[in-house]
Structures are given as structure tokens and as C-alpha cells.
Amino acid sequence: MKRWDQRPIEIRNLFNPAFCGLVLFRALHGYEEEDTRGMPFSLTLLILPLCLHKDSREVFGSNPRSYLLKTVERNQQMMVGLADRVTQMMPFAFEAFGLLMEKKCIIVTEDGRIKTVPKMVRKTVDGTAESVACQKVARIIGKEFARIADRATVYTTFGIRP
């Protein structure tokens, strides 16, 4: 990963660690609404590729009450290139997690789950329409991951070998 000042301006804007951290935080918080133990680390790596990818975000945003498994089944086009996006987004997710840890917004439990720290991030979701959509979809995906409650099922659903 290049130093921050050596990255293209587009990359700095799109994959800003603070914004990526906020998206991850919203997903973690959504997960905790269903399962207070926190999200397994392996599932967190799917959040950014699903929320920041416009086509995926629009599918989940337009069906917020639909089950994730049914939504993916009806919208197979979302899975095209997802495995590559997950791989490409990992460094940005790691940077975001580093920032969240540094600012004490998340903790890692003894069993490797990631939990949010209460009152460290504003509850109100604001910003541009696109950033708000990313945050709202992150919460939806987090809740759905908790409802499924099985990492292998989630990864298999998206066509990624666990």
C-alpha cells in the first residue's frame, strides 16, 4: 500500500479510512442489534465491497426488508467480480480498522469478534446522499449477516469459498 500522500486523489477520496471506518462501524452496529456478541472478523471483509459498490448498494438499498439470501438469489449480477473486490478492498478495510482501534471505537473480543464501543460514533447518519446510502446499506447488511449467523453460508451465498 502506498503512502497516503502518494495515492491518487480519487483513491484518497473514495477509500478514506475515516469514511470506510464509519461504514464498517455502521455494519458492526447493525450486526449487534441482532447478536450482541459482535461480528466475526471474516464477515467484516465483505462489508466494504458490498456497500461501496454502487450496483450492490442499490440492490440492498431498494430491498431493505428482504432477506439477504433471497436478495442475492434474485440479483446474481452482484456476485460478478465480488471475490476480486473483496481482495482489492482488504488493505482499505485494514486501514479503517486501524483507525477505529486507534480512536477506541471498536474492540476485539477474546473469541475474535469485533464489537462497537457505545457513544463513540454519532448515531445520526448524515452526509451526501451517496455516503448516507453506504451507511444505511451497511447497517442492513450487518443485521442480515447476524440473522444468517453462519459465516460459511454467507460466503457461499456470494460465491466465495470460505
Indicate whether 129 belongs to any domain: yes
Residue 4 lies in a domain: no
Q: Does some domain include residue 1?
A: no
Mean pLDDT of the chain, nearest integer: 92
Residue 144 inside a domain? The answer is yes
Q: What is the pLDDT along the chain (162 residues), one digit of tens a residue?
A: 778 788 888 888 888 999 999 999 999 999 999 999 999 999 999 999 999 999 999 999 988 788 888 999 899 888 889 999 999 999 999 999 999 999 999 999 999 999 999 999 888 888 899 999 999 999 999 999 999 999 999 999 998 876
Does 20 map to a domain? yes
Domain count for the chain, please give it. Answer: 1
Tell the burial category of 16 from Cβ atoms under 10 Å away from its Cβ (0-12, 13-18, 19+): middle
Q: Tell whether 36 is covered by a domain.
A: yes
pTM greater than 0.75 (yes/no): yes
In a domain, 22, yes or no: yes
**Structural domain boundaries, residue 32:** 9-157
